[in-house]
């Protein structure tokens, strides 16, 4: 077999396998500990839509100034969001603190 032909066939197979792969898109919602209920409700509505479309959703709460001394507020907010979206998604990554942000990842769940 010709080596050039072999390389061409190999590249062709790799291209085909890349086309067959399904890429999962990750969307992000950013909130703050002082975010109002109205603002949070339409952010949750967007997250629900994305989860129903099969996308993952990152929920990030950013702290500014002295807000970082009250991480329990952010944990409470993330728990509320996970509760509201429990019918369409599951928590893939528990709330975790990274510097001045707290992050949680939701993945599309089983539909009933």
Q: What is the pLDDT of residues 54-85, one digit of tens each?
A: 899 999 999 999 989 989 999 999 999 999 99
Query: Can you give the pTM of this predicted structure?
Result: 0.74
- Report how far residue 2's alpha carbon sits from residue 19's, in angstroms, rounded to the nearest whole number: 26
| CATH C-level class of 24-108 | alpha beta
Strand ranges in the chain using DSSP code E only, listed in sequence order: 26-31, 56-62, 89-98, 101-108
Q: How far apart are the first and last CA of the chain?
A: 53
Nearest to 50 by CA among 29, 75, 70: 29
Residue 31: closest CA among 19, 17, 43:
43
């Amino acid at each position: 077999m010709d080596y050039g032909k072999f390389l061409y066939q190999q590249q062709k197979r790799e291209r085909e396998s890349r086309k067959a792969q399904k890429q999962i898109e990750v969307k992000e919602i950013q909130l703050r500990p002082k975010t109002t209920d109205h603002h949070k409700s339409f952010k949750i509505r967007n997250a629900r839509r994305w989860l129903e479309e099969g996308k993952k959703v990152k929920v990030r709460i950013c702290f500014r100034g002295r807000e970082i001394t009250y991480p329990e507020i952010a944990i409470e907010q993330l728990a509320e969001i996970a509760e509201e979206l429990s019918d369409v998604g599951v928590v893939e990554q528990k709330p975790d603190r990274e510097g001045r942000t707290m992050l949680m990842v939701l993945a599309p769940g089983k539909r009933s």
